Amino acid sequence: MQVPEQEIRALYQRYAHVVHYRARQILGSEEEAADAVQETFARVIRNYDSFRQESSPLTWMYRITTNYCLNRLRDRRGHARKHENHREELGGDGLTRVDFGAELDAKTLRQLVAGADEETRAILLHLYFDDMTREEAAKQVGISVPTLRKRLDAFFKVARRSFGVELAASLLLFWVLR
């Protein structure tokens, strides 16, 4: 079908900065945020017929951006593991040996998110980057709140051992379960 340029331009002016802001927060990179905007609007154009039926275009774009960002984080981790990490580096600031500080910062979060399974990645992203409540995050992912709690519980249990810093992970767990 013919997609009208003017309508896409109007959507871009209205929503692109939100997509950019969110992707930049999640990925921590201006360049990748720009890619996320391009990818999201490419999909808007590609699926314009169904997109027009959406009651909340932004929620639809959020879903696209979520998938895009999660894939980038996963690829980033996989790339680092396959090509860059050396045994000698693992004791330093490698992706899998995170030195948590007292604060859970965005960098640490990205590492946590990248290390989780697909569903838990989405949960962590919605809770921490989108500042959603547990109820909102569970709804976005399509699971119940108790299931969300279980997923996080299991994830942090493993993360606590993997990351080796009991205190910070316990703190995380406390935040999640309180």
Binding site for another protein (CB under 8 A): 3, 5, 8-9, 12-18, 20-22, 24, 30, 33-34, 37-39, 41-43, 45-46, 56-59, 62, 78, 81-83, 85-87, 89-91, 94-97, 104-106, 109, 117, 127-136, 158, 161-162, 175-176, 178
Q: Taking the complex as a whole, how short is the minimal distance between the CB of residue 19 and another protein, in angstroms? A: 8
Q: Which residues contact 61 (CB under 8 A, 6 or more apart)?
A: 15, 18, 19, 40, 44
Shortest distance, position 11 Cβ to another protein, whole Å: 10
CA distance 167 to 150: 20
Closer residue to another protein in complex, CB, 147/162: 162
Tokens of 15: 């929503």
Nearest distance from C-beta of residue 87 to another protein, angstroms: 5
Smallest separation (angstroms) from another protein to the CB of 27: 13
Burial zone of 82 (CB within 10 Å; 0-12 exposed, 13-18 middle, 19+ buried): exposed
Q: Which is nearer to another protein, 30 or 99 (CB)?
A: 30
Pull the structure tokens for residue 12.
């871009």
Q: Which of 163, 46, 151 is nearest to 97 (CA)?
A: 163
- 3-class SS at 166? helix
Residue 170 tokens, joined = 């316990």
Shortest approach of another protein to residue 111 CB, angstroms? 11
What span, in angstroms and rounded, lies between the C-alpha atoms of 121 and 105?
16
